């Protein structure tokens, strides 16, 4: 039986990735703080004998205001942990052949209506710089002979974590609406599709390099909010002012007040099949108890 090590395997995404791997017949080694894994000092034996490593390490980006200290913590939890993970694999007599490492569509920075594909240039800003450095560290695994897949993840639609549950309360109080200006693009993916995609990337030898983990149908924020309201049986009528979010969250508010029209060209070329490619059924599935 093949074995995969999943770093942060007990988190919002990790739990579903573990389930997808086990459903495909893999044995899974779950690495997280709950199981005694320390990302700042990874133990080499935890990666010994595994056939693939899935790296989902990283503190939440949008749960607090960005300060010098919080940015440093975000960077260290991704770049530092990934570097130590690669170093741990390098010290093994048999290096794991596959590394699937998380990244984000923040790589492209805020953009206009241009459809963005994996070979488009990097954007600007804190998130773009973070993703660039994060991916460069993961790519060091290629020098060890690993097949490295860099998965640039969009907004993940799932009921038990990520951005979506934070939107539920205002809609249920009949106070829901789009985040201004409303014309920014939302590049999204259903949680189930993302978990299946990561399992597929591990087992599909032709998948390498950068991959945009998003639906093929990005959507404007105004339409996203209207569709969410419909899924929840509530109106979408009260816009959230961008200046209010800026006041509350500072630069971190740019995550939702700006956007990028990101397209999954590599996934489509390689034949990945979505379970939830369209937003309305994806949201209905995501909000279901």
**Is the pLDDT reported for residue 147 higher than 90?**
yes
- Nearest to 159, CA basis, from 12, 10, 5, 286: 286
- Nearest to 150, CA basis, from 86, 94, 92: 86
Angle between helix 81-90 and 126-139 (nearest 10): 0
**Is the pLDDT reported for residue 9 higher than 80?**
yes
**Is the pLDDT reported for residue 243 higher than 90?**
no
Per residue in 196-214, pLDDT (tens digit) is: 999 999 999 999 999 999 9
> Rounded to an integer, what distance in angstroms lies between the CA atom of residue 211 and that of residue 40?
27
- Rounded to a whole number, what is the largest CA-CA distance in the chain? 60
Confidence of residue 163 (pLDDT cuts 50, 70, 90): confident
Domains of the chain plus CATH, in order, are 3-157+187-214+261-269 (3.40.50.720)
Q: Read off the pTM.
A: 0.95
User: Which DSSP category does 274 fall into?
Assistant: -
Per residue in 80-120, pLDDT (tens digit) is: 999 999 999 999 999 999 999 999 999 999 998 999 999 99
∠ CA 6-282-26, nearest 5°, is: 25
- In this prediction, residues 120-147 reach a mean pLDDT of 97
Q: Which residues of 80-99 are buried (b: 16+ CB within 10 A; e: fewer)?
A: bbbbbbbebbeeeeebbbbb
Element at 100 (helix H, strand E): strand 98-104
**Rounded to whole angstroms, what are the CA distances from 270 to 65, 103, 204, 266?**
38, 19, 9, 6
Average per-residue pLDDT in the chain? 93
**Is the pLDDT reported for residue 37 higher than 70?**
no
**Is the pLDDT reported for residue 193 higher than 90?**
yes
């Amino acid at each position: 039986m093949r074995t995969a090590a999943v770093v942060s395997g007990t988190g919002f995404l990790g739990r579903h990735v573990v389930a997808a791997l086990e459903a495909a017949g893999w044995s899974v080694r779950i690495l997280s703080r709950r199981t005694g894994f320390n990302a700042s000092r990874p133990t080499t034996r935890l990666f010994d004998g595994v056939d693939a490593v899935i790296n989902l390490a990283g503190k939440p980006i949008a749960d607090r205001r960005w300060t010098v200290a919080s940015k440093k913590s975000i960077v260290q939890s991704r770049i530092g942990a990934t570097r130590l993970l690669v170093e741990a694999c390098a010290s093994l007599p048999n290096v794991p052949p596959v590394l699937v490492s998380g990244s984000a569509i923040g790589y492209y920075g805020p953009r206009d209506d241009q459809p963005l594909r994996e070979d488009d240039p990097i954007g600007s800003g804190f998130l773009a710089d973070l993703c660039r450095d994060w991916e460069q560290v993961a790519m060091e695994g290629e020098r060890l002979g690993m097949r490295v897949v860099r998965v640039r993840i969009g907004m993940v639609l799932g009921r038990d974590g990520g951005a979506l549950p934070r939107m539920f309360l205002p809609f249920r109080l009949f106070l829901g609406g789009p985040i201004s200006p409303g014309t920014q693009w939302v590049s999204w993916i259903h949680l189930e599709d993302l978990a299946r995609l990561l399992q597929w990337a591990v087992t599909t030898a032709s998948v390498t390099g950068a991959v945009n983990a998003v639906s093929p149908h990005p959507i404007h924020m105004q339409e996203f909010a209207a569709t969410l309201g419909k899924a929840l049986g509530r109106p979408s009528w009260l816009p959230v002012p961008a200046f209010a979010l800026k006041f509350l969250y500072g630069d971190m508010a740019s995550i939702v007040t700006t956007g990028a029209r990101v397209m999954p060209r590599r996934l489509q070329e390689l034949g990945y099949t979505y379970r939830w490619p369209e937003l309305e059924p994806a949201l209905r599935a995501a909000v279901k108890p």
